Amino acid sequence: DTAVSQTPKYLVTQMGNDKSIKCEQNLGHDTMYWYKQDSKKFLKIMFSYNNKELIINETVPNRFSPKSPDKAHLNLHINSLELGDSAVYFCASSQSTSGFTGELFFGEGSRLTVL
């Protein structure tokens, strides 16, 4: 039973299109994240939600919009896709009732390719 699951795993699309990536966790965690991993494998946080409230919003273009309908789900919608958006997007979760432990549980990633 997958703890953090993302769909789709692969996404190939044209520039200018809009796409969404969905994430679900069944660990009962209260905090979820989106990370972007570029072609050089560098990881950078994009967003984080704690109990459905946005707590981290890094300098990400406003074409990227996260949505957390409940604690177990965090989706990422991207408008007007650009070539530079090509990357692997990782969803992660953590339990933060005792504060931030740094122990994140990652999904397997969604590889986005923009042509």
Positions touching other proteins (CB under 8 A) are 4, 31, 33, 40-45, 48, 50, 55-56, 90, 92, 96, 99-104, 106-109
CB nearer to other proteins: pick between 72 and 104: 104
Length of the chain: 115
- Min dist CB 21 to other proteins, Å, is 13
- Min dist CB 69 to other proteins, Å, is 20
Smallest CA-to-CA distance from 70 within 19, 24, 3, 1 is with 24
Q: Are 71 and 26 in contact (CB under 8 A)?
A: no
Bridge partners of residue 89, in order along the sequence = 36, 110
CB nearer to other proteins: pick between 14 and 102: 102
CB nearer to other proteins: pick between 15 and 100: 100
- Min dist CB 73 to other proteins, Å, is 17
Q: Are 30 and 97 in contact (CB under 8 A)?
A: yes
